[in-house]
């Protein structure tokens, strides 16, 4: 691809009185002559016009010229008239279509094609910046028909076009002209963006490959849109008579994503499958000259970062999990968490929801492997840089009432939120936001996290800081502005698929965060929202919708929503029937359709680039073929897919027929049952534990008999050889269910040991509802814990300092 431009800098001057959001081209008209396409772009307010010229004389090359002139409407009309006159000998200048941005350019075996948005719809607004979805799109071949060879009409070329046609851009893709929708709100408004140096981060830009050439050569994004794939929902809610806006955004990473059984675990670059960032934004519209107050919180989900696979089989609805031993030093796992630290800062809190006991070892294999990996990584980390690891078997606890499960998850969420904080920013009327300039970076570090990391070391001080606002000294403006707050660190949740159980946990975290956000924005005095609050039900609806959408994209069916169904009061038999149907739908799609889906997304993302004389995509047995593409190993980040249902819907890309313009879419490991060896258990001595305290409940086993102790000192765990090991930052949180809500009364929750890997032995016990003694007397009731969010000093010490906690 060869692209030139006559001038890099746009000579558009924006005065202070001009709406900055209107200074982006949002509407385009495409014209064609025999030798060129002419794209005319203008801004929303019709104040300036630009021209892009695309050569049509080369059968397999793309040559684009950006006219440096900024035209008025009259000048632009005159230009089109002169172009028509100059091309009369070859048919003149013909109008092709109206469009709303370039999705990108793609080449299969010979000609280039241009993908355009021809219809759009508004789906939301962030700080006055409109967010759109695609309603209709078209694919146009670039070379004129007279210069195309037979290859352009070959069977293979048509088959590649058909593959691309199955990518449905009308579902779950969204974009904005004036707001960097691929970035979180915190990154958008952080200080480095105010200086006009907004970075074009491509992690969540799904048409990055399609637009790479034109962006890099023109050094701007004036003609292209950045498509984000995932979920977007905006609703207006009210509390105590005051209205506010709630936005839930899910951004799916373009790296190593794909269909459920074809993309599992991590790749060599530390990219994980089903990597999704979820952002929850709350804001109230400004009034009477007061600043708009806005807050957001980010959490993520992603596959367990180990090398593991599952192979779909028509004969097995639950394929075996195969854990590969090839990365014994956990280098890929380390790279993954280093990337998360760059993106979000510290601490990284891992909430692992997979099973702890199984008749046939499946999930437990990964649970043990994940523990070993995190422990290995933490040996080289110190302080807040250490990974905070929480095990919580959601499957076991989901046998309880849904209210109990969500309440227990809420406790974990409350402390995770205390660690990371939330983002809050008052937007004063004279504050200019989101100034765009093009500077590409595929791995952006959030500078606001770096600058504010010290704040989050002392969360109590940070929370107090909110009250120390400042007031406007302008006598005509009567308002107070609170100081900014930043989120540093992130909660990373996973189960096996990172779909069903993960979505429940993300809702629990979102509910805790919503309470805090409403308090910071001044809507409530307390940061706690009861599960029966109408806002909790509205939020659950939004997260359930997000969960279904993400599950379709990755798993092929809507999410399993047993807990949400129970909370809604759905008839149990109806819920069970619904779950069975979704299980069968997911099984069918994963078994019979996902291979085709994976190929489709690999084409769209550029992970496979066809070449004449090379094997075709459908001739390869696996999707691990990126070296076949033009850029070889550099394309080994994986591939992504759209949902099974969506890719086969009426909105799919249509294949090219005889006319010039074609629609892209239609019209509208079993848990160990062996008794633990004495040497592998915690040993309590006078210099290790201070007994008699109600800080944490430790249990020793002597010859099968239990002896209770209470301790508050530093915790030391021993491996199977009795050697003290540094296993900080691990936590089993099943003890949270011990306040009377436990469904299973088990004295020994789990004891895990892997002799070959010297894994830490985990001994966790649940206290029954009829406990007595000083521990019960000094412990608060569950209701009090839910209201004030207080826990034992040991748990708080673990959260703050990352110490090992056994209960």
Mean pLDDT across the stretch 718-733?
40
306 closest CA partner among 352, 347, 334, 265: 265
Q: Which helix (H) or strand (E) holds 271?
A: none
3-state SS assignment for residue 104: strand
Residue with tokens 């599952």: 310
Top pLDDT among 432 and 267 is at 267
3-state SS assignment for residue 402: helix
Mean pLDDT across the stretch 316-335?
91
pLDDT, tens digit, 9 for 90 and up, residues 69-85: 999 999 999 999 999 99
241 C-beta neighbours (distance < 10 Å), count: 5
Mean pLDDT across the stretch 341-348?
95
Confidence category of residue 659, pLDDT binned at 50, 70, 90: very low
Q: Which helix (H) or strand (E) holds 595?
A: helix 594-605
276 closest CA partner among 184, 338, 345, 190: 184
pLDDT at 753 over 50: no
pLDDT for 398: 78
544: phi then psi, degrees, rounded to nearest 5 = -65, -40
User: Alpha-carbon distance 353 to 502, whole Å?
Assistant: 7
Confidence category of residue 67, pLDDT binned at 50, 70, 90: very high
pLDDT, tens digit, 9 for 90 and up, residues 176-187: 999 999 999 999
Residue with tokens 């003694």: 773
User: Alpha-carbon distance 501 to 504, whole Å?
Assistant: 5
pLDDT for 770: 36
Given CA atoms 259, 263, 264, 266 in this order, what sign does their dihedral have?
negative
**Contact indicator for 66, 6 with CB cutoff of 8 Å:** yes
pLDDT at 196 over 70: no
DSSP string for 346-380: S-EEEEE---S--SS-SHHHHHHHHHHHHHHHHTT
The domain spans of the chain are: 23-226, 231-432+481-570
Least-confidence region, from 141-155, 326-340, 357-371, 792-806: 792-806
**Contact indicator for 25, 50 with CB cutoff of 8 Å:** yes
Top pLDDT among 420 and 584 is at 420
pLDDT, tens digit, 9 for 90 and up, residues 355-413: 998 888 899 999 999 999 999 999 999 988 999 999 999 988 877 777 788 988 999 99
In the 8-state DSSP scheme, what is residue 678? G
pTM of the model: 0.76
Q: What angle do CA 242, 513, 237 make, to 5 degrees?
A: 25
Percent of the chain with pLDDT over 90: 48
45 C-beta neighbours (distance < 10 Å), count: 12
User: Alpha-carbon distance 723 to 717, whole Å?
Assistant: 8
Top pLDDT among 501 and 1 is at 501
Residue with tokens 């992970």: 607
CA distances from 738 to 100, 224, 741, 747, 768 (A): 57, 55, 6, 10, 6
Cα 583 from chain centre: 24
Across 127-261, where does the E strand assignment appear? 129-141, 173-175, 200-201, 228-239, 242-252
- Dihedral (Cα; 166, 172, 173, 179), 10-degree rounding: 180
In the 8-state DSSP scheme, what is residue 272? B
pLDDT at 316 over 70: yes
Top pLDDT among 688 and 599 is at 599
**Contact indicator for 252, 550 with CB cutoff of 8 Å:** yes
In the 8-state DSSP scheme, what is residue 592? I
734: phi then psi, degrees, rounded to nearest 5 = -65, -20
Tokens describing residue 490: 């992130």
User: Alpha-carbon distance 717 to 116, whole Å?
Assistant: 60
pLDDT at 90 over 80: yes
Least-confidence region, from 228-232, 515-519, 614-618, 787-791: 787-791
pLDDT at 504 over 50: yes
237 C-beta neighbours (distance < 10 Å), count: 17
pLDDT for 121: 97
173 closest CA partner among 98, 105, 236, 121: 121
Average pLDDT, whole number, for the chain? 75
In the 8-state DSSP scheme, what is residue 256? S
CA distances from 269 to 145, 265, 635 (A): 43, 12, 11
User: Alpha-carbon distance 587 to 681, whole Å?
Assistant: 42
User: Alpha-carbon distance 343 to 511, whole Å?
Assistant: 23
Top pLDDT among 751 and 656 is at 656
Percent of the chain with pLDDT over 70: 66
- In angstroms and rounded to an integer, the radius of gyration of the C-alpha atoms of the chain is 28
User: What angle, 0 to 180 degrees and rounded to 10, lies between the N-to-C axes of helices 594-605 and 155-165?
Assistant: 100
pLDDT for 721: 35
Q: How far separated are the first and last CA of the chain, in Å rounded?
A: 62
Q: Which helix (H) or strand (E) holds 191?
A: helix 191-194
In the 8-state DSSP scheme, what is residue 190? S
pLDDT for 793: 65
pLDDT at 11 over 70: no
750 C-beta neighbours (distance < 10 Å), count: 20
Residues 233-240: contacts with CB under 8 Å, at least 24 apart: 233/124, 233/542, 233/545, 233/546, 234/123, 234/124, 234/125, 234/131, 235/538, 235/542, 237/535, 237/538, 239/518, 239/523, 239/524, 239/535, 240/523, 240/524
pLDDT at 432 over 90: no
């Amino acid at each position: 691809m060869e692209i030139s431009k006559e001038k890099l800098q746009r000579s558009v001057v924006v005065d202070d009185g001009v709406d900055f959001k209107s200074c982006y081209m949002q509407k385009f008209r495409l014209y064609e002559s025999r030798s060129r396409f002419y794209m005319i772009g203008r801004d929303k307010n019709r104040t300036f016009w630009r021209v892009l010229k695309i050569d049509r004389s080369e059968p397999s090359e793309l040559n684009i010229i950006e006219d440096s002139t900024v035209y008025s409407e009259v000048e632009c009309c005159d230009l089109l008239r002169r172009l028509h006159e100059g091309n009369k000998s070859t048919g003149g200048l013909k109008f092709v279509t109206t469009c709303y941005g370039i999705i990108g350019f793609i080449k299969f075996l010979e000609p280039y094609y241009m993908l355009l948005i021809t219809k759009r719809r508004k789906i939301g607004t962030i700080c006055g910046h409109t967010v759109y979805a695609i309603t209709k799109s078209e694919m146009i071949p670039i070379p004129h028909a007279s210069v195309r060879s037979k290859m352009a009409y070959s069977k293979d070329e048509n088959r590649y076009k058909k593959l691309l046609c199955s990518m449905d851009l009308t579902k779950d893709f969204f974009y904005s002209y004036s707001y960097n929708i691929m970035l979180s709100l915190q990154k958008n408004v952080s200080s480095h963006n105010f200086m006009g140096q907004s970075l074009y981060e491509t992690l969540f830009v799904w048409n990055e490959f399609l637009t790479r050439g034109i962006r890099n050569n023109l050094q701007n994004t004036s003609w292209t849109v950045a498509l984000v794939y995932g979920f977007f929902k905006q609703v207006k809610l009210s509390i105590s008579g005051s209205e506010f806006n709630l936005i839930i955004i899910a951004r799916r990473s373009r790296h190593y994503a794909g269909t459920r059984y074809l993309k599992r675990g991590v790749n060599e670059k530390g990219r994980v499958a089903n990597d999704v960032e979820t952002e929850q934004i709350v804001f109230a519209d400004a009034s009477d000259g007061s600043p708009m107050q806005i807050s957001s919180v980010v959490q993520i989900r992603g596959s367990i970062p180990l090398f593991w696979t599952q192979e779909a089989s028509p004969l097995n609805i639950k394929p075996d999990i195969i854990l590969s031993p090839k990365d014994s030093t956990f280098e890929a796992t380390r790279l993954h968490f280093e990337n998360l630290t760059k993106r979000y800062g510290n601490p990284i809190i891992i909430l692992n929801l997979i099973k702890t006991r199984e008749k046939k070892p499946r999930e437990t294999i990964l649970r043990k492997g994940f523990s070993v990996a995190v422990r290995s990584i933490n040996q080289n980390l110190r302080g807040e840089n250490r990974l905070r690891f929480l095990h919580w078997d959601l499957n076991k606890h989901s046998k309880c009432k849904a209210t109990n499960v969500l309440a227990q998850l809420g406790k974990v969420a409350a402390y995770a939120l205390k660690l990371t904080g939330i983002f809050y920013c008052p937007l004063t009327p004279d504050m200019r936001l989101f100034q765009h300039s093009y500077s590409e970076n595929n791995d952006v570090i959030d500078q606001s996290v770096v600058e504010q990391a010290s704040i989050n070391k002392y969360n109590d001080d940070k929370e107090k800081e909110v009250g120390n606002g400042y007031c406007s000294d302008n006598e005509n403006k009567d308002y107070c502005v609170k100081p900014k707050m930043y989120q540093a660190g992130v909660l990373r949740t996973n189960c096996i698929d990172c779909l069903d159980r993960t979505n429940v946990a993300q809702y629990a975290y979102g509910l805790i965060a919503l309470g805090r956000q409403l308090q910071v924005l001044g809507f409530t005095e307390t940061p706690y929202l009861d599960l029966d609050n109408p806002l909790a039900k509205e939020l659950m609806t939004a997260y359930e919708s997000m969960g279904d959408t993400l599950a379709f994209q990755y798993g092929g069916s809507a999410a399993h929503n047993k807990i949400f169904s129970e909370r809604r009061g759905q008839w149990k038999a109806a819920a069970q029937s619904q779950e069975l149907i979704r299980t069968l739908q997911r099984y069918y799609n994963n078994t019979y359709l996902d291979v085709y889906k994976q190929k489709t997304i690999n084409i769209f993302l550029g992970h496979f680039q066809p070449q004449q004389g090379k094997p075709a995509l459908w001739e390869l047995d696996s999707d691990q073929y990126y070296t076949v593409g033009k850029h070889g190993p550099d394309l080994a980040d994986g591939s992504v897919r759209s949902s099974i249902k969506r890719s086969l819907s009426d909105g799919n890309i249509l294949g090219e027929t005889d006319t010039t313009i074609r629609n892209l879419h239609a019209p509208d490991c079993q848990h160990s049952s062996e008794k633990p060896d004495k040497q592998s258990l915690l040993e309590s001595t006078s210099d290790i534990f201070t007994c008699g305290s109600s800080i944490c409940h430790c249990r020793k086993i002597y010859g099968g008999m239990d002896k209770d102790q209470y301790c508050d000192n530093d915790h030391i765990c021993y491996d199977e050889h009795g050697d003290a090991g540094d296993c900080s930052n691990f936590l089993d949180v099943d003890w949270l269910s011990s306040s009377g809500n436990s469904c299973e009364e088990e004295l020994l929750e789990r004891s895990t040991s892997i002799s070959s890997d010297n894994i830490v032995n985990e001994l966790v016990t649940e206290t029954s509802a009829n406990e007595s003694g000083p521990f019960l007397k000094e412990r608060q009731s569950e209701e009090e814990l839910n209201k004030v969010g207080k826990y034992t000093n040991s748990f708080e010490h673990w959260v703050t300092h990352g110490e090992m906690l056994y209960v």
